[in-house]
Structure 1
């Protein structure tokens, strides 16, 4: 028989077939679960938690695994050493009773291990990364490499490429739900970031560091940009479920897009508000995340109204969730003055030598002039908002009992948005609504109103009143209403488009008064109770009026 240079094929196949079988086994591996009673430190440089101490539970987990010492001896240096230990029980002369994954000193570990096999990689639990950690502890190099290859294969999803950064935002929602290779790769990335507690330290593992670089790229490509995340419930939930190291990957990537730095600040605020995210980070981690913000690029609204309030909250209550913004009021003042300075003033500020020390160690980031990728294409990004016929009828009924000159307005519902009636842009909430005055039956208006996001207002705090007094530059925006019959197909009718240079206060709307012509109502429609449907018939589709708010690039 001809032997292979590395190993006889029949021998290799025979050995691999022994996994989990009693045949020819001469030992067993018993699994015991390690547990940790002490607190964990979430403030490591990598943003991952580390256990300080652990205890080993004497209770076993699952059934003992039949094993073959001649295989274990060559598969794992750790198990080879364990095989030399004397038997501990009278009945276990051939039983390997030492816990197979007792924690190595200096390494944070929390679960027992068992030998790796191809079958193990296909199981939903434990995940491949957990198996890889166990294999690394057992010094099973081949298994470590196999696990890394399995993770890499999932990330690439059968050759699927990450969506280019310029188009990720437009298609991110579809990717998150569609059964496509790209969606499978996105799912693998999110799963990888859900188990950061079993990651090896990238500084000690070059192969995993390379894998993590690819994972970061694909995470950014999947989530796309701040507006995609803040305006889509699926992406919003995925962002808030990320560990700190995952959010850090977004904030430090130039490929992550936004319309404004203000939206990036809001994204971080939304992440901090998610259950346990504040408590799962320490002060150093929060400072590091805030240190990734390019604050000087924030809008005037944020520089003048939002950031000072957030800094004041941090100064008063740094250990409370509403005090997450780890930036001092002095630093905010410096950043605001720098952002508003002329070129000559900027040179004087940086040359004086007094500004830089106040912003250390994040001077270069907070004062950065390097722009994020602009996520609004030339044609803009459109968000639908719908108003039901039922809501219209209720408002018309109320209006009938009100004094002449009274008016109603109805805010639309934005399908799939985290806040159903609002679109996020420039770090603020924008709502589209319809408006009609009593006695003016010939036309109605379409408006957009701006408000401070709830997560920033923090009801009950005095600073919220100050923030609600803010004003903002009105962005380039177009409001449209879908019209046309089912036979002719829907068409968009432009209702109103903002002009450059406009401003608005919080809670104040701008738009087109009387921009939507209404139909006359016949006597029969009045008598039958169908007056509202008849008046709005040109815009009704399936029992609702469909409108759209289009954000245009600056």
Structure 2
């Protein structure tokens, strides 16, 4: 076994050296052809070297650890390193494309979160989360590009001095999110959220006991609570992406009330709209007993919602119908005036005058009125949420066999969500249109969230919503080589996935909101569920025998007995 491992390591190293040398080969006829030819001749007689551009000498141990992995297949002493060291080794392993090393670093980081840190910082079940939070800028850091990458060369082939690495510390919380969705970061944050969900209650009990000791202790506890809010905002990131993930939804619902208050109070907690924040609160309230939640707790939590930034459908149609939200009919009417005044040319003066008139009756200094907008955006932007519809359900719908579809034609998302959330509403592929050429095209729809639909009807919510999103349908085609070498997409069948159709909508693309019900099973809990889908087509006639006639034309769009695509928020 040892001999086999050494042979495998040598083959791996040789393959990586050959790849690095190929990456350094000049393009024929390029500007540096003559000098490159000279370097190549020198390289033929010189021993190959791997040159890696570093920001400083302090990075040398991390590069050596990554390269050592090629020979040993394990991290060695780095396996028990702190979060910062593991993240730096991982970055160089990504940059050098060292297979297995990236995965080993990621596994070690996830163990660090679950087992209370590396022991080099604080102690306790949240020590690992706090340790990662302290180096969160490294988590968002990307491996170096061409200018700061690794090159395989000979001494004579490359005389360029190393360049300083780019990047720096990112601000805390939501603003520290990477510009593109990263599956590893998502896994780390999910693990951190789980630790916080399970253990922040004990920290809050300790804070409560300290606060009872006196005024000085109360001030110290308030500062710690604010720090907990920053930690929660970093792990929970933003409302819409959290609500689009069944696991994240359950973790949010499991937070203690004081932790949720700290999260909603924190300025770093992001959203695409305050409507999504109110929806997050609704999910928590419903999961914890609805109107049975103690009134004092509900008041504290609801006070953290920034009502003056709600969207029009939420402000006028949904907010006044929530029985657990402590706002009177009179104050709601005043709030609507206050929000409308913000759209006027002399908005500051109008709002100041309204606050003066309402002094003593309504608190216009509270977050309902005075809080600024939260950080805008969603951390899952760019993530493709894959969806699919069963082939047998398509056949039953085409044949008009409604007895085989008691709940109608429905689809589901691969992550188990019933529908996805944006701007306080739920979004899903609601229509599948078969073009004249046989290509299916999906159209996105939005509806009142299931958790709020119990308080509304189709007559209650007549409004418009929008979201920046892309909806695609996949096509599968055979590989030219028959899939002998795998394709990274569908290695089981040797088929390549491509985009058959695409529809996009922007924030300017307004659509009507479907009100009341129809959320699909499991929607309220954020668990596995489905959504209704309507099938249309150019000249499409449903009835007995339609599936036998039409499904063969859909064969290029089917894989594993499903037709699917992806919904991506932009």
Q: TM-score range by the shorter chain?
A: 0.5 to 0.7
Asked if structure 1 preserves the Cα contact closer than 8 Å seen for 2:290 and 2:324, the reply is: no
Question: Which of the two has greater helix per residue?
Answer: 2
Name the counterpart of 2:375: 373
Give, in angstroms, the shift of residue 451 of structure 1. 1.5
Call closer, same or farther: CA 1:308–1:550 in 2, change over 3 Å.
Answer: same
Asked if structure 2 preserves the Cα contact closer than 8 Å seen for 1:305 and 1:466, the reply is: no
Asked if structure 2 preserves the Cα contact closer than 8 Å seen for 1:444 and 1:518, the reply is: no
Asked if structure 2 preserves the Cα contact closer than 8 Å seen for 1:387 and 1:545, the reply is: yes
Asked if structure 2 preserves the Cα contact closer than 8 Å seen for 1:258 and 1:375, the reply is: yes
Call closer, same or farther: CA 1:273–1:187 in 2, change over 3 Å.
Answer: closer
Structure showing greater radius of gyration is 1
Name the counterpart of 1:431: 428
Matched, 1:453 2:445: no
Give, in angstroms, the shift of residue 414 of structure 1. 1.6
Q: How does 1:376-525 map to 2 (within 5 A)?
A: 376=378, 380=382, 382-398=384-400, 410-418=409-417, 420=418, 422-436=419-433, 442-458=438-454, 464-467=457-460, 469-485=461-477, 487=479, 489-498=496-505, 500-506=508-514
Matched, 1:282 2:294: yes
Name the counterpart of 2:484: none
- Once residues 410 and 421 of structure 2 are traced to their aligned partners in structure 1, the CA distance between those partners, rounded to angstroms, is 15
Name the counterpart of 1:265: 278
Name the counterpart of 2:195: 188
Asked if structure 1 preserves the Cα contact closer than 8 Å seen for 2:476 and 2:497, the reply is: yes
Name the counterpart of 1:119: none
Name the counterpart of 1:165: 174
Name the counterpart of 2:8: none
Q: Tell me which moved more, 479-488 or 333-342.
A: 479-488
Give, in angstroms, the shift of residue 267 of structure 1. 0.7
Call closer, same or farther: CA 1:185–1:263 in 2, change over 3 Å.
Answer: closer
Name the counterpart of 1:248: 261
Between the two proteins, the alignment pairs up a number of residues equal to 369
Call closer, same or farther: CA 1:156–1:359 in 2, change over 3 Å.
Answer: same
Q: How does 1:58-69 map to 2 (within 5 A)?
A: none
- Once residues 257 and 188 of structure 1 are traced to their aligned partners in structure 2, the CA distance between those partners, rounded to angstroms, is 21
Name the counterpart of 1:359: 362
Classify the secondary structure of the residue corresponding to 1:255: coil
Give, in angstroms, the shift of residue 325 of structure 1. 0.4
Give, in angstroms, the shift of residue 373 of structure 1. 1.4
Matched, 1:546 2:564: yes
Name the counterpart of 1:335: 335
Call closer, same or farther: CA 1:217–1:278 in 2, change over 3 Å.
Answer: farther
Give, in angstroms, the shift of residue 457 of structure 1. 2.1
Give, in angstroms, the shift of residue 334 of structure 1. 2.0
Q: How does 1:35-54 map to 2 (within 5 A)?
A: none
Match of 2:305 among 293, 297, 306: 293
Call closer, same or farther: CA 1:435–1:546 in 2, change over 3 Å.
Answer: closer
Q: How does 1:52-201 map to 2 (within 5 A)?
A: 149-150=123-124, 153-157=127-131, 161-162=135-136, 165-166=174-175, 168=177, 178=187, 185-195=192-202, 198-201=205-208
- Once residues 465 and 433 of structure 1 are traced to their aligned partners in structure 2, the CA distance between those partners, rounded to angstroms, is 17
Asked if structure 1 preserves the Cα contact closer than 8 Å seen for 2:385 and 2:413, the reply is: yes
- Once residues 517 and 539 of structure 1 are traced to their aligned partners in structure 2, the CA distance between those partners, rounded to angstroms, is 17
Call closer, same or farther: CA 1:155–1:424 in 2, change over 3 Å.
Answer: closer
1:446-489 Cα distance to aligned partner (Å, 9 max, x none): 2222221122122xx6x53542x422133333221122425263
Give, in angstroms, the shift of residue 545 of structure 1. 1.7
Asked if structure 2 preserves the Cα contact closer than 8 Å seen for 1:478 and 1:494, the reply is: no
Q: Tell me which moved more, 222-231 or 541-550.
A: 541-550
Matched, 1:218 2:231: yes
Name the counterpart of 1:20: none
Classify the secondary structure of the residue corresponding to 2:234: helix
Give, in angstroms, the shift of residue 262 of structure 1. 0.5
Give, in angstroms, the shift of residue 372 of structure 1. 1.2
Could you tell me the TM-score, scaled by structure 2's length?
Answer: 0.55
Name the counterpart of 2:318: 306
Give, in angstroms, the shift of residue 494 of structure 1. 4.1
Classify the secondary structure of the residue corresponding to 1:431: strand
Could you tell me the TM-score, scaled by structure 1's length?
Answer: 0.57
- Once residues 197 and 379 of structure 1 are traced to their aligned partners in structure 2, the CA distance between those partners, rounded to angstroms, is 32
Query: Highest relative contact order (Cα 8 Å, sep 6+), 1 or 2?
Result: 2
What RMSD over aligned residues (CA atoms) do the two structures have, in Å? 4.2
Q: Tell me which moved more, 343-352 or 231-240.
A: 343-352
Call closer, same or farther: CA 1:379–1:326 in 2, change over 3 Å.
Answer: closer
Call closer, same or farther: CA 1:482–1:384 in 2, change over 3 Å.
Answer: same
1:32-60 Cα distance to aligned partner (Å, 9 max, x none): xxxxxxxxxxxxxxxxxxxxxxxxxxxxx
Call closer, same or farther: CA 1:393–1:325 in 2, change over 3 Å.
Answer: same
